[in-house]
Amino acid sequence: MRVSLAGFLAFVLCLGWLSAHPPKGGTSVDNAMDTQLPLKTFRGMQAEAKGCIECHAKKNPGIVADWKMSQHAHAGVSCIDCHGVTKDSPMLTMDGHEGSKVPISVLVSTNTCAKCHEKEVTEFRHSGHVRGAVQIWAKANMRDLMVMVEGRNHPDLKHAPAATGCQQCHGSIIQLNKNHRPTPETWPTYGIGTAFPDGSVGNCASCHSAHKFSLEEARKPAACASCHLGPDHPDIEIYNNSMHGHIFNAEGAKWNFNAAPGTWKVPDFRAPTCATCHMSGNAKSAVTHNVSRRLKWNLFMPLSKLRTGGYETASDDYKYENKITIGNPLAGNPKGPEAARAEMEAGCVDCHNKQHIDNFFIMADKNIMLYNEYWKEAVKMKDELAKKHLLGKDMWADDFQNTMYHMWHHEGRRMRQGGIMGAPDYSHWHGVFEVQQDIRKLRKIYAKRLKTNKIED
Amino acid sequence: MRVSLAGFLAFVLCLGWLSAHPPKGGTSVDNAMDTQLPLKTFRGMQAEAKGCIECHAKKNPGIVADWKMSQHAHAGVSCIDCHGVTKDSPMLTMDGHEGSKVPISVLVSTNTCAKCHEKEVTEFRHSGHVRGAVQIWAKANMRDLMVMVEGRNHPDLKHAPAATGCQQCHGSIIQLNKNHRPTPETWPTYGIGTAFPDGSVGNCASCHSAHKFSLEEARKPAACASCHLGPDHPDIEIYNNSMHGHIFNAEGAKWNFNAAPGTWKVPDFRAPTCATCHMSGNAKSAVTHNVSRRLKWNLFMPLSKLRTGGYETASDDYKYENKITIGNPLAGNPKGPEAARAEMEAGCVDCHNKQHIDNFFIMADKNIMLYNEYWKEAVKMKDELAKKHLLGKDMWADDFQNTMYHMWHHEGRRMRQGGIMGAPDYSHWHGVFEVQQDIRKLRKIYAKRLKTNKIED
Amino acid sequence: MRVSLAGFLAFVLCLGWLSAHPPKGGTSVDNAMDTQLPLKTFRGMQAEAKGCIECHAKKNPGIVADWKMSQHAHAGVSCIDCHGVTKDSPMLTMDGHEGSKVPISVLVSTNTCAKCHEKEVTEFRHSGHVRGAVQIWAKANMRDLMVMVEGRNHPDLKHAPAATGCQQCHGSIIQLNKNHRPTPETWPTYGIGTAFPDGSVGNCASCHSAHKFSLEEARKPAACASCHLGPDHPDIEIYNNSMHGHIFNAEGAKWNFNAAPGTWKVPDFRAPTCATCHMSGNAKSAVTHNVSRRLKWNLFMPLSKLRTGGYETASDDYKYENKITIGNPLAGNPKGPEAARAEMEAGCVDCHNKQHIDNFFIMADKNIMLYNEYWKEAVKMKDELAKKHLLGKDMWADDFQNTMYHMWHHEGRRMRQGGIMGAPDYSHWHGVFEVQQDIRKLRKIYAKRLKTNKIED
């Protein structure tokens, strides 16, 4: 183990403290942007950057090769522009190294990206993506699952599940040790909701991977697929199951993914990718990095609800209020759920007539509401069992609660997301077909507990 | 909700009627072809089509862009050729619109495709693909599963599982409302067995997606993958697991998928795709759209049986007899199962010697027969339980029947299909490894019920 | 069935004999290499090869087309060079045919490949890959699972699960019948650990598929994916879930996979494939076909152990000692586990800084050790149940043993392999999330058995 005991204890203490005290987003959160270096206005390469490039081309050739292919390199944006920080920045990880005197950070936050891409970062800040990390630490049951349940509350190993699992998609709340180095428990992560020491939240490199930061990459389904997969939200599987995915998988290799921002549209492609529907411009909506904006429903919650909450708040809560919150799960379109749907449908029109679109959404919406019927029945049974003290304390060892969790978190999401994204196999076999069996299992356990007045062993 | 209550009630009544009265395939089924417009013989663009194109290029640019890339456009086949109908056609959905006086249908059936592609449509009509939709509605237990069980018999929502699930692959029996518009419960669907108001069955666009109708697309595994996937017939997963898929996935992007019909053969590709084995021409079999023709076994049924039934009948039953039937589950090669196998093997020879092919099929066939041994044991137990009234009424809440269903419909198909298509992981881990555990579970439940003379709660 | 009864009985007898007597690796194992024809030194095409090519170009055009695209063809290596054998070779399958008098073998073993690629074959022989087939037949419980449990000990069908499943990835111990033809129970197979009649073990064509034997193919994830998938080691799923796979899937189609051996490196690619990390050259390790060499841990065993065993021995045991052994499960780097890790990390440096790499492996290692905690608890419970005769005889029908098997063989591998290869969904949802539920199930069964002093039915 390369982490010292002292270092680890410091981390554990820090984590304990975290539960009680939401971490501050840097030393001077209110003017966090002030810790960013101003953007240079000339196009040439900085002398210091040449030093970085020459040395790292030998040590880490992939980084430099990537950058050379990037729009950044072509625009004269180089190492220091993103990694350079002020000496007193909460982001500082090295105050010069290998002969260079430039203070730098190995971390690059959205504050940095916003120096040039302010519109994109603002939109992104309004999206559910930024809730990724902070919402986890805002919920006691999530912390318990990761650390106590899965990590067995083991003194040395308990943070491994979060570090190798949750945080790699959700992001982490990055902590620096006393030497200003990010701790292994919180970094590296490619998680999209990563909270940085400067108080900013979010990670552009989740989709536009470093150090190429490619537009083309983020337009392809693979960019979303490394997180949007698996039993609880099999979005890439859903896409592949859909007619859209069918067409992309058959022909997408020949499409034009490299159109300039805001100009990517039919016939650059024959079928939409994730980015097309959720982000690309159409008749009713400009290009947006707020992926929640065109969503009518919240489909990850146990009960499907209309997204009536406007913008996401988790990033601002963290950055400006120093609070770790679950944000705004009903974030969506500031004009409400029907406006969200209208902005989504404006994309469908490129290839489908109105009757087609209307019919499709009528049934997909009904499918979502149908799921709610299952959920409400389960809740009713659970409430009655709770009242009669017939629920186990450890929900993961209690068949009723465990089945109910899966009915929501796994099967129920697949039913809803499969239907709304045109994936019959996920809507049916991985969705409602399993949900209907879950409810039967719940009814059986419920009846047995009521009958015997005890929890089965 | 955009569907009126009256409209919905009309639909529900219609569905209720459907159960008792198989829907007629149009007003004048016997001469359904007569409702098709004759194919024009000149190559130029029709004046009306120019109107369509100009307007839809603005409203739905993807449709027009697709068509422009199609062989249809190059051959002068345009909008009206496929969408134009007679005023009294059962397919009519709009009697002129936006200034045009041409009566059209938003639906395009195989009757239309057959105007030019008669051979392909006839072959397709002989294949199991056309059973897709009608077989579902022909079986009471399937209707129950979709509407009563999964749909909770909910007055408003009960058709959502079928509409978002089953019908998107199997196809629907399209119903038009009083305004001649297809109902949301039955359209849109890309399902391959869709039954149209003109009595024709099948959907060419399932594999050759609109409006490009590409040959290349249908030759790629992705075309089959949007339906042939998942727990009950993971055919794309099986392909990816096979050496054939391994080679395609490593190199296929460079192969020639665009050879003219009937000319696509080695070395256009280095390994077969789904279409190569099941459809492409070889020494013993011409190109065919009858995908059942080279199948020796029926591997979707609970007990594997040799395909001795000749051609599929479901399409003709619907079109000419006005009957919704399960068709001919033993449809295959009109010359019988060994002829089917011989036609399949004639493709293998391109890359494999006879010893290799013979050995492979000896063991794959044994694997299929081995599955039958498991199934027959289960049936014997079930029959005895039934005789002693030890089977639950709701099969989905009865552990014995539910496990038996999965042993057949999921695990048992994977064992058989995995073996016959060279996918060891599916034959073993997703197949026989699970089947052997299913049979153990069945034996336990069986023994317990016999011993206690009751169904466990 | 094309196999005669006599032939089958001979095979069954042979299999029975196999259990008791490890098969010899050919008639003269000690000088197995002597049965190989010497490599020709001129570059022209042999006259006999021209005969092969002309005839097989008609009969099996795919084989000849493949070969024409191969480096072999360009280097003048043709049919006889690989398929020609001496008359008394244990590999002989046909002593001339169709007018040719050249004795040939339809089988090509690593002995043949080693005539030109000795370094690669030697490295491969040192890797865990060669344990594939022999380890299965070395373990009584594996034979039982395949033949008795899954094959139902059926007189005619019992070998189908091994032939369609296990052996297609693991490889088989190829047996020839009295006519020198490989038996259907043991061939064809693409299994990487196939043991040949000449005593050599391993199959180069598993990754470099015949008859192109492409370098490019083996560098792509698809080459590994046809075996490294599924519930027990979802390595391709893990790769696709990782940031590495995300990048490959988005851009890999444009990378250069065709660099000459030993020259393939950044910026030929932007992200590593399986081959990059496990086989390609880097600052601390030359290119190697010993895929075990850079592995610190054995992660397929029930308890994770450090790889301290040096080279794999199964191939040499078979070839030189005539023994079927489980080989050396702790084979890895001859300098030990830390050297293995250092050789692996030397690849990471291309794109990641040391802090990143160190932090990543600290937590991935902890995740592996955390799994061990779960396993040790399970073993303790199992030992106590065994002592009290509370374990069922048929482990597959015993809930405790069956769950424990899955906790190790499926869920536990996914937790460990998912973490160490950067795949959060597999580490978490398919891994530790399921492992923690397994342990709860085990605890329940354990408590119930202790309490009731009987095995539940």
Cα dist from C181 to C90, C188, C389, whole Å: 11, 11, 48
Tell me how close the Cα of B84 comes to any Cα of chain C, in angstroms.
41
Q: Which percentage of chain B shows pLDDT scores above 70?
A: 90
How high is the pLDDT of residue C18?
Answer: 47
Q: Which percentage of chain A shows pLDDT scores above 70?
A: 90
A156 has pLDDT over 90: yes
Among A94-108, A320-334, B415-429, C330-344, where is mean pLDDT lowest?
A94-108
B262 has pLDDT over 50: yes
Which residues from A are below 8 Å from C341, CB to CB? Answer: none
Q: Which chains touch B (3 or more CB pairs under 8 A)?
A: A, C
B 95-114 residues with CB < 8 A to A: 106
CB contact under 8 A, C60 and B353: yes
CB contact under 8 A, A62 and C270: yes
Which residues from C are below 8 Å from B249, CB to CB? Answer: 220, 222, 225
User: CB distance from A12 to chain C under 8 Å?
Assistant: no
Which structure tokens are listed for B154?
A: 């909910």
Write the pLDDT tens digit of every residue in A340-377.
Answer: 999 999 999 999 999 999 999 999 999 999 999 999 99
User: CB distance from A339 to chain B under 8 Å?
Assistant: no
B151 has pLDDT over 90: yes
Cα dist from C106 to A253, B356, C18, C28, whole Å: 38, 9, 23, 20
Q: Which of A248, A424, A440 sits opposite B166 (nearest CB)?
A: A424
CB contact under 8 A, A457 and C443: no
- The H or E element spanning position C443 is helix C433-452
Q: What is the ipTM for the molecules in this complex?
A: 0.92
Which residues from C are below 8 Å from B367, CB to CB? Answer: 157, 160-161, 163-164
- The H or E element spanning position C85 is none
Interacting residues of C310 by C-beta distance below 8 A, sequence separation 6+: C328, C331, C332, C333, C334
How high is the pLDDT of residue B36?
Answer: 67
CB contact under 8 A, C428 and A166: yes
User: CB distance from C457 to chain B under 8 Å?
Assistant: yes
Model confidence band, residue B40 (pLDDT cutoffs 50, 70, 90): low
- Mutate which of A174, A226, A255 to test chain C, going by most C C-beta atoms within 10 A? A226
The pair phi, psi for residue B152, each rounded to 5°, is 55, 20
How high is the pLDDT of residue A49?
Answer: 84
> d(Cα B457, Cα B145) in Å, to the nearest integer?
22
C 208-267 residues with CB < 8 A to A: 240-243, 245-251, 253, 265-267
- Helical segments of C252-353, H only: 274-278, 314-321, 337-348
Which residues from B are below 8 Å from C158, CB to CB? Answer: 370
> d(Cα A119, Cα A116) in Å, to the nearest integer?
9
Residue at token pair 């068509």 = B67
User: CB distance from B155 to chain A under 8 Å?
Assistant: no
- Mutate which of C142, C145, C164 to test chain B, going by most B C-beta atoms within 10 A? C164
Looking at residue B187, its amino acid is W
Domain positions in chain C are 44-106, 118-220+232-351, 360-452
Average pLDDT, chain B: 92
CB contact under 8 A, C419 and A106: no
Looking at residue A304, its amino acid is S
Among A31-35, A289-293, C152-156, C226-230, where is mean pLDDT lowest?
A31-35
C9 has pLDDT over 60: no
Question: Which chain A residue's Cα is nearest to B220?
Answer: A250
Contact B12, B153 (CB under 8 A): no
> d(Cα A431, Cα B165) in Å, to the nearest integer?
9
Model confidence band, residue B11 (pLDDT cutoffs 50, 70, 90): very low
Interacting residues of A334 by C-beta distance below 8 A, sequence separation 6+: A310, A311
CB contact under 8 A, B209 and A367: no
Contact A287, A96 (CB under 8 A): no
For residue B163, give the nearest of A340, A231, A369 by alpha carbon: A369
CB contact under 8 A, A270 and B184: no
Contact A109, A91 (CB under 8 A): yes
**Around Cβ A387, how many Cβ atoms within 10 Å?**
9
How high is the pLDDT of residue C395?
Answer: 97
For residue B183, give the nearest of A417, A169, A366, C8 by alpha carbon: A366
Across A159-180, average pLDDT: 98
Collapsed DSSP state (helix, strand, coil) of residue A176: strand
Query: Percent helix, strand and coil across chain B, each rounded to 5?
Result: 55, 5, 45
Q: Which of B1, B66, B157 sits opposite A370 (nearest CB)?
A: B157
Which residues from B are below 8 Å from A356, CB to CB? Answer: 106, 187-188
User: CB distance from B362 to chain C under 8 Å?
Assistant: yes
A9 has pLDDT over 80: no
Cis preceding-peptide flag for C211 (omega within 30 of 0): yes
Euclidean distance between the first and the last CA atom of chain B, given in angstroms as a whole number:
41
C 177-196 residues with CB < 8 A to B: 181-185, 187-188, 190
> d(Cα B333, Cα B298) in Å, to the nearest integer?
12
Among C18-27, C262-271, C303-312, where is mean pLDDT lowest?
C18-27
User: CB distance from B280 to chain C under 8 Å?
Assistant: no
CB contact under 8 A, B270 and C397: no
Q: Which percentage of chain C shows pLDDT scores above 70?
A: 90
Which residues from C are below 8 Å from A394, CB to CB? Answer: 440
Question: Which chain B residue's Cα is nearest to A369?
Answer: B157
Buried b (16+ CB within 10 A) or exposed e, A398-409: bbbbbbbbbbbb
**Around Cβ A117, how many Cβ atoms within 10 Å?**
17
How high is the pLDDT of residue A40?
Answer: 60
Where are any strands of DSSP class E within C173-320? 297-298, 305-306
Write the pLDDT tens digit of every residue in B321-332.
Answer: 999 999 999 999
How high is the pLDDT of residue A41?
Answer: 58
For chain B, state the CA radius of gyration. Answer: 24
**Around Cβ A26, how many Cβ atoms within 10 Å?**
22
| Residue C201 β-bridge partners | C195
Can you say whether the dihedral through the CA atoms of A193, A196, A201, A207 is positive or negative? negative
Q: Which of C253, C359, C365 sits opposite A187 (nearest CB)?
A: C359
Model confidence band, residue C34 (pLDDT cutoffs 50, 70, 90): very low
pTM as predicted: 0.93
CB contact under 8 A, A160 and C370: yes
Greater pLDDT, C56 or A5:
C56
Interacting residues of C341 by C-beta distance below 8 A, sequence separation 6+: C294, C296, C361
Query: Percent helix, strand and coil across chain C, each rounded to 5?
Result: 55, 5, 45
How high is the pLDDT of residue C99?
Answer: 85
Contact B368, B420 (CB under 8 A): yes
> d(Cα C53, Cα C64) in Å, to the nearest integer?
7
Model confidence band, residue B98 (pLDDT cutoffs 50, 70, 90): confident
Q: Which of C66, C182, C223 sits opposite B250 (nearest CB)?
A: C223
For residue C64, give the nearest of B272, A159, B266, A202 by alpha carbon: B266
User: CB distance from C167 to chain B under 8 Å?
Assistant: yes
Interacting residues of B50 by C-beta distance below 8 A, sequence separation 6+: none
> d(Cα B346, Cα B341) in Å, to the nearest integer?
9
Question: Which chain A residue's Cα is nearest to B3?
Answer: A362
The pair phi, psi for residue C65, each rounded to 5°, is -65, -40
Write the pLDDT tens digit of every residue in A15-68.
Answer: 444 443 434 433 333 334 445 666 665 656 777 788 999 999 999 999 999 999
Write the pLDDT tens digit of every residue in C93-151.
Answer: 999 888 889 999 999 999 999 999 999 999 999 999 999 999 999 999 999 999 999 99
Q: Which of B183, B190, B222 sits opposite A250 (nearest CB)?
A: B222
Which structure tokens are listed for A52?
A: 């970085």
How high is the pLDDT of residue A24?
Answer: 40
Question: Which chain A residue's Cα is nearest to B58?
Answer: A350
Buried b (16+ CB within 10 A) or exposed e, B328-359: bbbbbbeebbebbbbbbbbbbbbbbbebbbbb
Question: Which chain C residue's Cα is nearest to B244?
Answer: C226
User: CB distance from B430 to chain C under 8 Å?
Assistant: yes
CB contact under 8 A, C220 and B249: yes
DSSP sequence for B104-162: E-S---HHHHTTT-HHHHHHHHTSGGGGTTHHHHH-HHHHIIIIIITTTT-TTTTTHHI
Query: Percent helix, strand and coil across chain A, each rounded to 5?
Result: 55, 5, 45
Which residues from B are below 8 Å from A248, CB to CB? Answer: 222
Q: Which percentage of chain A shows pLDDT scores above 90?
A: 87
DSSP sequence for B82-108: HHB--TT-TT--EEEETTEEEEE-S--
Residue at token pair 């009630």 = B9
CB contact under 8 A, B362 and C2: yes
Which residues from A are below 8 Å from B55, CB to CB? Answer: none
